[in-house]
Amino acid sequence: MTKKVLITGVAGGIGLETAKLFHAKGWEVIGTDIKEMEDTLPINFIQGDISDKANNKIIFNSINGKLDALVNNAAIQLFKSLQELSIEDWDHVFRSNLYPAFFIARQAANILKKDKSAIVNVCSIHALATSMNMSSYAASKGALLALTRSLSIDLAPIGIRVNAVLPGAIDTPMLRQSIRRFCNSSKEEHQMLENYKSRTPLKRIGLPEEVAKSIYFLSDHDQSSFITGSSLVVDGGAYSHLSTE
């Protein structure tokens, strides 16, 4: 039987490349995003806000009671200092990055195939080490990483594996957006990208499809059947390198 995966944040970047990979592997893909999907990938796409309960009901009605993997990928970033960050900002980031992952995982646990299914939470290297003005994003991803470990224990008795992928600097629209807040020209943007590369042991920026392969590995029972509660860092070695050197 054809395997089925639900991927959130599927309209671009890591989510889109993950959907492409699952589709290429013969999986049925159900994808959701708050943005329109411009790519013509033949998947079951549902546009809407995953923090909205009514939209989640539509998503799960389309699944028809069978699911082999869930990929919680949807997220937003907010760049504000502690003084600038409002309670509303903080709540918005958590309602986008953390709460839906919990609510969707809770619903999915009832229909995921027992003993051979998986949940993969796309966290971030910011869950382990972060930078200035990223407190809400880093905190939400750190909480998602803790949730991953907790769910791996809670769902182990019914054979559902739960793992996390922690991307570093990956060439996605989110990374480009974060870079542009410091740049006034395409030349400055290029220079900042080169700086990222020089500070990464592998001397390059990661690609969304490389993260997608890690997500697929942790989702596919045949490849990772004895892995749960783990965190796979995909950052070209940046987290291992002392910033003082």
Q: Which residues does residue 33 pair with via DSSP β-bridges, in sequence order?
A: 47
The yes-or-no answer on residue 216 being catalytic is no
Residue 32: CB atoms within 10 Å: 28
Quote the tokens at residue 189. 């943007």
Which one is catalytic: 99, 137, 196, 239?
137
208-219 vs 13-24: helix axis angle to the nearest 10? Answer: 50
Q: Which residues of 108-122 are buried (b: 16+ CB within 10 A; e: fewer)?
A: bbebbbeebbbbbbb
Residue 10: CB atoms within 10 Å: 30
Catalytic residues: 137
